[in-house]
Amino acid sequence: MPFRVGLTRDFLKSDGTVGLGDIRLDLLDAAPGVAWEFLPDRAPELTPELIAGYDAIILLGSRVTAATLTGADRLAVIARFGVGYDNVDVDACTEHGVLLSITPDAVRRPMATVVLTYILALSLRLLEKDRLTRAGGWADKLDYMGFGLTGRTVGIIGFGNIGREVVKLATPLELTFIAADPHVDPGIAAAIGVDLVDLETLLTTADFVVTLCALTPETHHLLNAERLALMKPTAFLISVARGPVVDQAALTVALQRKAIAGAGLDVFEREPVDPADPILSLDNVIVSPHALCWTDEWVSRSGVSVGESVLAVAAGQAPGFVVNRNAIDTPLVQEKLRRYREGA
């Protein structure tokens, strides 16, 4: 039997072509004994019927719940095309002997450039000046002074791979970096010139507050009204992790009252964001549809990463970027990997 790989149908546009471009399916084509196809139906939540008979699922945005995995005796890996996995029940994956892999190396540089893009656009008031020019307000440009970045402080909430890449890219701008992350060794941060501080210190100090932490029960509404009030009135919030990390209603009020200078938002509490949401009417906000990092570079790197994860399992090995690493040595997973090794 071939090693069967199913891709969620949200990769496809209405005309049946892949919406993201080249997602590197050539890696699967070149692998002997591997067959792939798109799932027959588009579903917000995958059902047991949709995933039946597959050894691997390459997942874009569909949800995977405990109900999804009911009876999924054959499935061995879900390879998430991206780094976030709040749409996947990780505990259910472990219980059913399914590894969940992500693509951190693929998103590190693209997401870091997103953060840098927002820093530059907000500090230079780029979109405001764009609107001013189009409206014939050339004579009013003195009212739209930006500010330089030299010596400004960037505070990063969640100092993982992407946060460290931000520091790497932005260091030549002579910015100062601080970070809040209880899971990071202070020595690792210090080695690249970053001071670890508590969240309150970060919020009261930073000129740019950047959210890069995972969405967990502990980080849900981490930036609520009380914490947003700690930010300087000249500071900007850049929200690019997951929308619910920020209390969006509280942020809207803070922006309306000019309690902070502005915000760059690639993520929202509810997605897709309602076109009537009041945050979209504010001129001190730059928004994008949870896709600013979507470039050919991100697509290619993500495609390579998920392909490598799938092919590792097909060869009877655990992938490199597994979320539920505690599942690797369980009897269920080991039996599946042994079967693939012997089949290969």
Active site annotation includes 290:
yes
In the block, residue with structure tokens 């020595």: 187
CA distance 342 to 64: 29
Is residue 124 within 8 Å of residue 140, measured between CB atoms?
Answer: no
152 is catalytic: no
The catalytic position among 242, 269, 301, 308 is 242
Torsion of CA 73, 74, 76, 81, to 10 degrees: -110
Six-digit token pair at 198?
Answer: 């508590």
Place of tokens 């949870």: 290
Residue pair 56/36 in contact by the 8 Å Cβ criterion: no
CB 289 within 8 A of CB 272: yes
| Residue 242: active-site member | yes
Classify the phi-psi angles of 301: left when phi > 0, otherwise alpha if psi is within -120 to 50, otherwise beta.
alpha
Contacts of 18 (CB under 8 A, 6+ apart): 11, 12
Rounded to 5°, the CA angle 120-124-178 comes to 45
Per the rule left: phi > 0, alpha: psi between -120 and 50, beta: everything else, 37 is: beta
Question: What phi and psi values does residue 45 have, to the nearest 5 degrees?
Answer: -125, 125
Query: How many angstroms separate the CA atoms of 294 and 21, rounded?
Result: 11
CB count within 10 Å of CB 332 equals 15
| Alpha carbon 50 to its chain's center | 25
Report the distance separating Cα 328 and Cα 322, nearest Å.
Answer: 9
Indicate which residue of 24, 152, 290, 301 is catalytic: 290
Q: Which residues are catalytic?
A: 242, 271, 290
